[in-house]
Structure 1
């Protein structure tokens, strides 16, 4: 079975992922930023329950986003010193 095409390029220096390299990666990043905008709006509400829901959405969205980026980064996440693998 072939491995799925990576959505994100690896960072050249450091640990983690770089910018998206496919439309799926850009769509994931755009969707995450949209969720952050909604959570920011929810944070400005006066009702504490709405703010709590916003925080829960933020935690769930961030965990999902990081997990997908980790799975879809070419070569995985590891420390890089600038040389191409």
Structure 2
């Protein structure tokens, strides 16, 4: 079952995705928020180990969200000057 429906609206000005327009987009942002907060206990337990772990988690999570948002934005990512799509 292939889902080609967009999850995000394009930004009206600039480059990238705007707010979610489907529940999947909101779920992605909720999971991303939880993943970004997940290294907090390790950071508090041992900052030396936790910082490296946190940076890896944050980088991978951000790359995944950017990749998904780029592919699930209505009309794709391109520079916009305020025109309606």
Question: How many Å separate the matches in 1 of 2:71 and 2:81?
Answer: 21
How far residue 46 of structure 1 moved from its aligned partner, in angstroms, is 2.4
Task: State the secondary structure of the residue aligned to 2:66.
Answer: helix
| Distance change in 2, residues 1:26/1:3 (3 Å) | closer
How far residue 12 of structure 1 moved from its aligned partner, in angstroms, is 0.7
Number of residue equivalences: 84
Paired residue for 2:30?
Answer: 30
**Is the CA contact 2:39–2:50 (under 8 Å) kept in the aligned structure 1?**
no
Q: Which structure 2 residue ranges, 5 or more long, are not aligned?
A: none
Question: How many Å separate the matches in 1 of 2:3 and 2:33?
Answer: 27
**Is the CA contact 1:9–1:20 (under 8 Å) kept in the aligned structure 2?**
yes
Task: State the secondary structure of the residue aligned to 2:18.
Answer: strand
Corresponding position: 1:81 with 2:81: yes
Q: Which structure 1 residue ranges, 5 or more long, are not aligned?
A: none
